[in-house]
Amino acid sequence: MNATTLRKLATAVVLSAGLTTASGALAVDNLRIIAPANPGGGWDQTARAMQEVMQSAGIVKSATVENVGGAGGTIGLAQLADKEKGKPNVLMVNGLVMVGAILTNQSAVTLEQTTPIARLTGEYEVVVVPASSDIQNLSQLVEKLKADTGAVAWGGGSAGGTDHILAGLIAQAAGADATKINYVPFSGGGEALAAILGGHVTAGISGLGEWIGQIEAGELRALAISSPERLEGVDIPTLKEQGVDVELANWRAVVAAPGISDAQKQELAAAVDAMVKSDGWKKVLSDKGWMDLYMPGDAFAKYLADENARVSAILKTLGLVS
Amino acid sequence: MGALLDGFATALTVVNLGWCLVGVTLGTAIGILPGIGPALTIALLLPVTAHLDPTGAFIMFAGLYYGAMYGSSTTSILLNTPGETGSIITAIEGNLMARQGRGAAALATAAIGSFVAGTIGTVLLTVLAPLVVKLALKFGPAEYFALMVVAFTTVSGLLGTSRLRGMISLFLGLAIGLVGTDALTGQARFTLGILQLLDGIDITVVAVGLFAVGEALYVASRPELRSAQVIPIKGSLWMTKEEWARSWKPWVRGSFLGFPFGALPAGGTEIPTFLSYFLEKKMSKRPEEFGKGAIEGVAGPEAANNSAVAGVLVPLLTLGLPTSATAAILLAAFQQYGLQPGPLLFTSNSALVWGLIASLYLGNIALLLLNLPLVGMWVRLLAIPTPLLYGGILVFATLGVYSYNQSVFDLGLLFIFGIVGYLMRRFDFPVAPAIIGMILGPLAEQNFRRALSITQGDYTVFFTHPISATLLAIAALIIVAPFLLRLRQRRLASS
Amino acid sequence: MKRGAAAAELVLGLGIAALGAFLLWETGEIRVSPVYAKVGPRVIPNLVGGIMTALGLLLAWQNWRAMQAAGPAPSRASAEDRTDWLPIGAIAIALIQQILLFELLGFMPTAAILFYCVAYGFGSRRYLRDALIAIAIAVVAYVGFVHVLGLNLPAGSLFFGED
């Protein structure tokens, strides 16, 4: 299906949704967006940006954001699956981190118990070394990793998070023993950054946006990026072109409550689709430096299942889940 | 320096001063609420301020930040209810002063001390930023662990009447700090299968429970305490000459202690307050007054937490490295204005950076000017009849604790820690060591294990790194010195 | 001396030791993953649990000896001072009702009840004045923090439905 047909379809859905308004109030007129995190973080910012764009573009009458933070988003997820079940006007932001958190926290509720709507944005990860490091490129790092896996200390975010997952995937793809990687989790990007700048760890992994300033200033040397192809305007080679066959996006998406009808699902999907295509959303993406990774409908449902399988496998290898 | 003056020129407009006033007022209001801190408030205000010009927004944030700090010290001193973690230590001596009718003096020494610290901090930031940041980067996990060991020795200054009781309190705090997901291996510890405990127990819930709720239960249960009305002011409203004389050195020492801690990526504002309290107790000519309302115990820690705030700006502005929750939000605010955080910020947007530094300083001045005259009014809070005062404290304590995570579960935890706080008071256990254990425990454990993970299990790392070895030697000295001194005195006495 | 105080402390010491033992037992439940880490997730919990048990036993032992000697308690214990249970009960009920009814009734009613019960617990018997102040504080706090700051406080699902 190409973009034009998709848009036509969406318009049709919006129109038909508009028709139903005549007979009764549209369910998504009073949209509630659950951010399964405390104010300030990426999921919260996504939820608030959606609220702002949907309201100002007139897609919904009103939208509210509710923060239900904790346990990598699984508390919000539990609420969505239980208290919000069957409600047609609720969306929840989620992402790759939640896939990991569901496994490590042994959450009773999984993403299968939600109604997938669409992937929205994402960010790719960079592998860096301090400028003073004698490692010049990815193959030198891979050599070190193969020679003595434990001697390479990786610095990054929390255990089982995106950075940790990527470190495991790289080691695996490079032919090293991923069960032996020496990953040192730090709380927050700032602490990991300081440990790398100070040369306390060998290499670091984080989202591109978080460290781009230090890379451009020449304080960090970027060895590779986890995108499928080189990004426009970013002079960092991909993992793939350097012989490490790994792709990873730290994506963010929206899902709806379980137990809603197909028509209700289409209504929410149309609202999200209209939002993604609005100028307001484009402005948000460029202001915040978010990558547009919009993927609606069944394609997203399949993607979610694939990511789930891939993340479980690597977390098992890393020994985080049994 | 010239750049800083330009910064002041940018910041000093009537409109901006208006925003500063809004920020300070709002900040004081949220500072009074435990749990709701400047980071959360700025996050909530970000969408609103998107339409403001950057300077105005940052000035408002600066006012908000200092206002919150000051509001928190106010409730610590007058109501024994710390609003932010940086003023937990303030509650110890400050509240005792307030009960003796010296609340106004405690508030004044906190306000002036914060101002002195802000001034010294701004000067250090302007002059020393590049040097300090180099030193801060030398701190790896081994160094942090050694630093935590030094911080732990300060507990000895807070143990109270019985060492055993103090140690039990400390270990209670350490145990609470262990609850949650293990940061290094991602495994759940002591969560008893409860999802809400996976992120650990928040320090504000514990502090408010042990301090405010525990205190309310205890006071209510004692007829003689319940009916005792605190006299708001005894003697002069202002600080006496003696109080000035006893305050200024702690202000200066606290300022120099706090600044480098703020600059450390995992330093924070709490640890320098512990160290400052300990240092002032050791240096005081009247150490016996500590624990009975010593003004040095308010002046030092208050200066320390304020200059730590200026220290936080060092890595933020020179490296784009946020070292506190508020710094991370400020970074997000920068991004909102299309400014790329990172080392280039200083050169590419120097006007704004210096404007920010100047506005933080202006926030500091505004707070002093606004609050010193109000000290007399704040103190009269204590004249509110005890039943109504405690009713208000508990309403705001629960409001703050709930808002932090929007979780009724936290209200349940608050109640449990309230009972623990009541029992600790009733059986004469000091509360402060539990708080210290809870803050330092996780940091010490994580850095200990990180250091050993990086070196693949080589324990000598703590002694081969020069900074770490020095810090451990200092810690050993702090522990051993009192014994040696006593030994020497005994020998002198016997000869 | 206060035999009662020492006895209470003895029980307290045993309670602390039991808490330490519980920590040790729970530490055994922590999954040790094969993740590369030289010091695993159980080391520090074992240390904390072990020392806590020892400290609790020490406190119990000191007080047991004090009871035997019938001498003064090793430290000032206030267990024999007079304790009023009514105020503690009033405040505890106030806090528990808030936990249970917070989402159903919303912030305002539960906060007003909390305020009122605490004031009552502290011995105030001016019922009308306290009630009026309780309502005023609850309303002002709600309006101030929800509408000015944009915090989310429950309005009460009983009155305003689920949302």
Token pair recorded at residue C34: 């094969």
Residue A311 and residue A234 share a domain:
no
Predicted pLDDT of residue B249: 93
- The pLDDT of residue A21 is 38
CATH code of the domain covering residue A214:
3.40.190.10
Contacts of residues A77-82 at CB distance under 8 Å and 24 or more positions apart, as own/partner, are A77/A36, A77/A102, A77/A107, A77/A109, A77/A111, A77/A114, A78/A107, A78/A108, A78/A109, A78/B195, A79/A34, A80/A34, A80/A109, A80/A114, A80/A255, A80/A257, A80/A258, A81/A109, A81/A113, A81/A114, A81/A257, A81/A258, A82/A109
In tens, the pLDDT along B123-179 reads 888 888 777 777 888 888 999 999 889 888 878 777 767 889 999 999 999 999 999
Decide: helix, strand or coil at residue A174: coil
The CA distance from B46 to the nearest CA of chain A, in Å, is: 9
- Picking from A69, A78, A219, the nearest residue to B343 by CB comes out as A219
pLDDT of residue B82: 80
Chain B contacts in chain C segment 114-143 (CB below 8 A)? 114-116, 118-124, 130, 133-134, 137-138, 141
- Beta-carbon contacts of B262 under 8 Å, excluding residues fewer than 6 positions away, are B121, B269, B272, B307, B308, B309, B310, B311, B312, B313, B314, B323, B324
Give the Cα-Cα-Cα angle B451, B454, B460 (nearest 5 degrees): 55
Q: What SS3 class is residue B188?
A: strand
pLDDT score of B1 more than 70: no
Task: Please tell me which chains touch C, using 3 or more CB pairs under 8 Å as the contact test.
Answer: A, B
Average of per-residue pLDDT across C115-132: 93
Cα–Cα dist B224/B267, whole Å: 42
Tokens of B335: 């991004």
Is A164:A157 a contact under the CB 8 Å cutoff? yes
Provide the number of CB pairs (under 8 Å) joining chain A to chain C: 20
Q: Which of B47, B345, B453 is nearest residue A182 as measured by Cβ atoms?
A: B453
User: Per the domain annotation, does A256 fall within a domain?
Assistant: yes
Angle between helices B296-319 and B241-263 (to 10 degrees): 30
CB-count burial class (<10 Å; 0-12, 13-18, 19+) for A223: buried
Domain boundary among A226, A242, A258: A242
Residues on chain C touching B213 (C-beta within 8 angstroms): 95
Cβ neighbours of B437 in C, within 8 Å: none
Q: Report the pLDDT value the prediction gives residue C52, as an integer from 0 to 100.
A: 96
So what's the pLDDT on residue C131? 94
Contact across the interface for C111 and B398, Cβ inside 8 Å: yes
Residue B249 lies in domain? 2-494
For residue A67, the cross-strand partners are A35
- For chain A, give the percent of residues with pLDDT over 90: 43
Among A94-108, B226-240, C15-29, C74-88, the least confident range: C74-88
Do A181 and C34 make contact, defined as CB atoms within 8 angstroms? no
* Cβ(A73)–Cβ(A114) below 8 Å: no
Q: What digits encode the pLDDT tens for the residues A176-232?
A: 888 889 999 987 667 888 899 989 999 999 988 888 888 888 889 999 999 999 988
Q: Given this model, what pLDDT does residue C150 score?
A: 67
Option in C59, C116, C123 nearest B168 (CB): C59
The pTM for the full model equals 0.84
**Cross-chain CB nearest to B398 (options C58, C114, C122):** C114
Asked if the Cβ–Cβ distance from A150 to C36 is below 8 Å, we say yes
Chains in contact with B, counting 3 or more C-beta pairs less than 8 Å apart as contact: A, C
Please state the rounded mean pLDDT for residues B89-101. 88
> Which residue does chain A place closest to C154, by CA atoms?
A66
Q: Which of B305-319, B459-473, C9-23 has the lowest mean pLDDT?
A: B305-319
d(CA B304, CA B121): 10
C-beta atoms of C36 and A183 within 8 A: yes
Identify all chain B residues contacting A45, using CB atoms and an 8 Å cutoff: 332
pLDDT for position A25: 42
Q: Which of residues 10-49 of A touch C (CB under 8 A)?
A: 30, 32
Q: Given an 8 Å threshold on Cβ–Cβ distance, is B139 in contact with A104?
A: no
Residue A110 lies in a domain: yes
Q: A262 and A153, same structural domain?
A: no
Distance from CA of B207 to the nearest CA of A (A): 20
Contact A322 C35 (CB under 8 A): no
| DSSP assigned state of B414 | H
Q: What is the CATH number of the domain that holds A306?
A: 3.40.190.150
Identify which of A105, A219, A289 has the shortest CB distance to residue B198: A105
Q: Is the Cβ pair B220, C62 closer than 8 Å?
A: no
> Taking chain C, what is the end-to-end CA distance rounded to the nearest angstrom?
60
Q: What is the β-pairing status of strands A249-256 and A90-95?
A: antiparallel
**How large is the average pLDDT for residues A47-76?**
86
pLDDT at C76 over 60: no
Q: Does A179 touch chain C (CB under 8 A)?
A: yes
Choice among A207-211, B42-46, B213-217 with the minimum mean pLDDT: B42-46
Q: Which of B175, B131, B158, B142 is nearest to B266 (CA)?
A: B142
Q: Is the pLDDT of residue C70 over 80?
A: no
Give the span between the Cα atoms of B235 and B106, in whole angstroms: 13
More confident call, B431 vs B415: B415
CA angle B263, B265, B269 (to 5 degrees): 65
pLDDT in tens, A251-281: 999 999 998 988 889 989 999 999 999 998 9
C-facing residues of B in 360-399 (CB < 8 A) are 385-388, 390-392, 394-396, 398-399
Q: What is the average pLDDT across A111-133?
A: 92
Q: Do residues B42 and B333 lie in contact, with contact meaning Cβ atoms separated by under 8 Å?
A: yes
Residue of B nearest to A151 (CA): B456
CA distance, residue B347 to nearest chain A CA (Å): 11
Q: Do A66 and C33 touch (CB under 8 A)?
A: no
Q: What percent of chain B has pLDDT over 70?
A: 94
Which residues from chain B sit within 8 angstroms of residue C56, using beta carbons?
168
Q: Of the residues A216, A242, A268, which one is the last residue of a structural domain?
A: A242
Q: How is residue B257 written in tokens?
A: 């202690």
Query: What is the mean pLDDT of the segment spanning A30-45?
Result: 84
Q: What does the block give as tokens for A259?
A: 């137990």
Q: What is the pLDDT averaged over residues B424-428?
A: 89
* Per-residue pLDDT at B410: 92
Question: Which residues of C fall within a CB distance of 8 Å from B461?
Answer: none
- The pLDDT, as a whole number, for residue B9 is 77
- Chain-chain contact of C153 with B220 (C-beta, under 8 angstroms): no
If DSSP codes are grouped into helix, strand and coil, which group holds residue B50?
coil
Single out the residue of B419, B403, B407 nearest to residue B206, CA to CA.
Answer: B419
d(CA A291, CA B478) in angstroms, rounded, equals 53
> Residue B310 to residues B66, B437, C24: CA-CA distances in angstroms?
11, 26, 42
Interface test with B, best of C118, C132, C137 (most B CBs within 10 A): C118
| Percent residues over pLDDT 70 in chain A | 90
With an 8 Å Cβ cutoff, are A40 and B323 in contact?
no
Residue A4's pLDDT band (cuts 50, 70, 90): very low
pLDDT at C37: 58
Burial of residue B485 (CB within 10 Å: 0-12, 13-18, 19+) is exposed
Q: How many domains does chain A have?
A: 2
Q: At what angle do helices A96-104 and A74-82 cross, to 10 degrees?
A: 90
More confident residue, B102 or B41: B102
Is residue A272 a part of any domain in this protein?
yes
Q: Which residues of C touch A319 (CB under 8 A)?
A: 33-35
Would the pLDDT of C163 be above 70?
no
- How would you classify the pairing of strands A30-35 and A249-256? unpaired
Over residues A57-67, mean pLDDT: 85
Rounded to an integer, what is the distance from CA C17 to the centroid of its chain?
19
Q: Residue A108: what residue type?
A: A
Binary contact (A48, B47; C-beta < 8 A): yes
- Both structure tokens of C149: 């700051």
Question: Following DSSP, what letter does each residue of B86-132 receive, concatenated?
Answer: GGHHHHHHHHHHHHTTBHHHHHHHHHHHHHHHHHHHHHHHHHHHHHH
Q: Which of A186, A209, A242 is the last residue before a domain boundary? A: A242
pLDDT at A41: 74
Most A CBs within 10 Å: which of B182, B450, B455, B465, as the mutation test of the A interface?
Answer: B450
Range of the domain at A191: 124-242
Residue A118 shares a structural domain with residue A8:
yes
Residue A295 has pLDDT above 60, yes or no: yes
A206 falls within a domain:
yes
Q: Which residues of B touch C121 (CB under 8 A)?
A: 220, 387
Shortest distance, CA B99 to any CA of chain A (angstroms)? 37
How many domains would you assign to chain B?
A: 1
CA distance A267 to chain C (A): 20
pLDDT at B131: 79
In this prediction, residue B341 carries a pLDDT of 59
A-B contacts (CB, under 8 Å): 139
Please tell me if residue B141 touches chain A, with a CB cutoff of 8 Å.
yes
| pLDDT at A172 > cutoff 70 | yes
- Indicate the angle between helix axes C3-27 and C43-69, nearest 10 degrees: 160
**What DSSP line would sit under C97-134, residue for residue?**
HHHHHHHHH-HHHHHHHHHHHHHHHTT---HHHHHHHH
Relative to beta strand A291-296, strand A115-130 is antiparallel
What is the pLDDT at residue A19?
39
- Which of C34, C152, C163 shows the shortest C-beta gap to A319? C34
pLDDT of residue B340: 62
* Pair B428, C77: CB distance under 8 Å: yes
CB spacing of B412 vs C103 below 8 angstroms:
no
Residue of B nearest to C21 (CA): B175
Chain A nearest C-alpha distance from C26 (Å): 17
Q: Tell me which chain A residues have a C-beta less than 8 angstroms from the C-beta of C161.
A: none
> Measured between beta carbons, which residues in chain B are less than 8 angstroms from residue A185?
183-184, 186
